[in-house]
Every structure is written in C-alpha cells, then in structure tokens.
C-alpha cells in the first residue's frame, strides 16, 4: 500500500484552506457549487459538510473512487461526483452559483488552462462567482515557497512545464485578467504559498 499518496499528503496540508474557502467566498447552504478537476474530492466534501449542493468532476477514475468512498462514509446525499473533462463540461450554461478550481490550473499547458476557465465561466450563473485556489505567484521566499518549487520539480514532465509557464505568466491574477473577470477578493494562506481569488463575471 502506498504511503505517500495525494490523500495522505496534500489533502491534510490543505484542509484548513479548504474549510476557510467556504466562508471566504460567502457560500450558503443550498447553493449549487461545482468543483472542477476535484481529484480526491476533498474540497467538494467540505462544501457538502456546510449543506451546499456540491458537484465534483475529474477525469481520473481512481481519484473519484476515493472521493466516492469518503462520500459514502460521511453519508452525504448533497454531494455528487462525475467523470468528466473540465475542457468540455457536461452542464448547461448558467447552472451554478459558484464554480471552483483548486490546484488544477498551475499544472496544465496554457491552452488547456484557458479552456478550463472558459468552461467555468460558461456554467456559472452571471450573478455567481468563480473561485481560484492555487500557488501564489510569486511564491514566497520561505520554506513553503521552496517546498512548492521542489515538489513541482519532482512532479516532472508536462506538470512541471505547466508550473514553469504558470509562474512566468503571473499565475491566477493574470488568468483572471485575461478572461475579463473581476477579482472581488483575494486571500493568502499557508504563509503566502496559497492564493485564493473570488472573481466575478461583471
Ligand atoms: C493536482 S490535482 C488537484 C486536485 C484537487 N483539485 C485538489 O485541490 O487537490 C489535478 C487534478 O486535475 C485532474 N485533471 C487533469 N486534467 C483534467 C481535465 N481535462 N478534466 C478534468 N480533470 C482533469 C487530474 O485528474 C487531477 O485529479
């Protein structure tokens, strides 16, 4: 059995951020919220705990199997997971109050990243908001910033190339600007390693 897995390394480290995000964004019980590229579903489960009608999508069945296991253990009827491609979301326009993406833009090539954000814009309601959580660029000059660079380097391949381009291009604030979104609120977590941006369509 693997010891160093996403769910026992990354998820515990980000737990506080995932919990804080619900209040930061001012999501309410009953809101319809989508998390794209949800991985193990940890963010979706935090939404579910707060009475939000939460949906998570990811392309990786193994990640979603873990998410489904947690959902069953916690008996969460207000949470759903689907295998889907974030660049072609299987949802109608204007369907969700909030659409979030957590640590799943920094690792992608620019064209994929742009398609994911375009799809997030399409499925969120016009009066709704998008939520971006990812590495804060520039990374802080502390142990967290150094650690992030090391972890991304060892991820290697396309992931590392995506990360390099993400850093060079200015990270989340640049993505928000390029997509014509308005950053309503930005928060920083984990000694400045993580940036959370709530962005509006209007
Ligand atoms: C670094 S993980 C982040 C997972 C999670 N959002 C989190 O905060 O821990 C990136 C995730 O993106 C998923 N992914 C990559 N490309 C995707 C795509 N085109 N559509 C849906 N999911 C995708 C991967 O399967 C992986 O689970």
59 lines ligand 1 (CB under 6 A): yes
Name beta bridge partners: 133: 102, 196
H or E element that contains 4: none
b/e per residue 39-59 (b: at least 16 CB within 10 A)? bbbbbbbbbbbbebbbbbbbe
- Give the chain's domain count: 1
CA angle, residues 40, 65, 57, in degrees to nearest 5:
55
Structure-block tokens of residue 178: 């390029």
- pLDDT per residue as tens digits for the range 137-196: 999 999 999 999 999 999 999 999 999 999 999 999 999 999 999 999 999 999 999 999
Q: Is residue 1 part of a domain?
A: no
> Does 82 contact ligand 1 (Cβ within 6 A)?
no
Residue 91 Cα to chain centre, angstroms: 18
Ligand 1 atom nearest to 10, measured from its CA? 9
CATH of the domain at 89: 3.40.50.150
Query: How far, in Å, from the CA of 85 to the mean position of ligand 1?
Result: 10
State both tokens at 168. Answer: 């060079």
Q: Is the pTM of this model over 0.85?
A: yes
Distance 64 CA to ligand 1 centre (A): 10
Determine contact, residues 160/149, Cβ cutoff 8 Å: no
Q: What is the dihedral of CA 5, 7, 10, 16, to 10 degrees?
A: -160
pLDDT digits (tens, 9 = 90+) for 2-47: 545 667 777 788 999 999 999 999 999 999 999 999 999 999 999 9
The answer, yes or no, to whether any atom of ligand 1 lies below 6 A from the CB of 56, is: no
- Ligand 1 centroid–CA 106 distance in Å is 10
- Owning domain of residue 88: 6-200
Q: How far apart are CA 146 and CA 191, in angstroms?
A: 12
């Amino acid at each position: 059995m693997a010891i160093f897995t996403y769910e026992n390394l990354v998820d515990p480290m980000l737990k506080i951020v995932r919990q804080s995000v619900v209040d930061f964004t001012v999501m309410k019980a009953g809101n319809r919220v989508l998390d794209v590229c949800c991985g193990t579903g940890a963010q979706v489960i935090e939404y579910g705990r707060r009475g939000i009608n939460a949906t998570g999508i990811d392309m990786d069945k193994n990640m979603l199997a873990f998410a489904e296991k947690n959902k069953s253990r916690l008996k969460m009827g207000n949470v759903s997971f689907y295998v889907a491609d974030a660049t072609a979301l299987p949802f109608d326009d204007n369907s969700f109050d909030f659409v979030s993406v957590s640590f799943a833009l920094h690792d992608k090539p620019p064209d994929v990243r742009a398609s994911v954000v375009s799809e997030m814009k399409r499925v969120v309601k016009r009066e709704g908001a998008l939520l971006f959580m990812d590495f804060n660029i520039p990374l802080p000059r502390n142990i967290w910033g150094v650690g992030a660079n090391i972890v991304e380097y060892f991820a290697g391949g396309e992931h590392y190339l995506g990360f390099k381009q993400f850093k060079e291009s200015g990270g989340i604030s640049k993505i928000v600007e390029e997509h014509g979104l308005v950053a309503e609120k930005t928060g920083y977590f984990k000694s400045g390693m993580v940036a959370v941006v709530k962005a509006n369509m209007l």
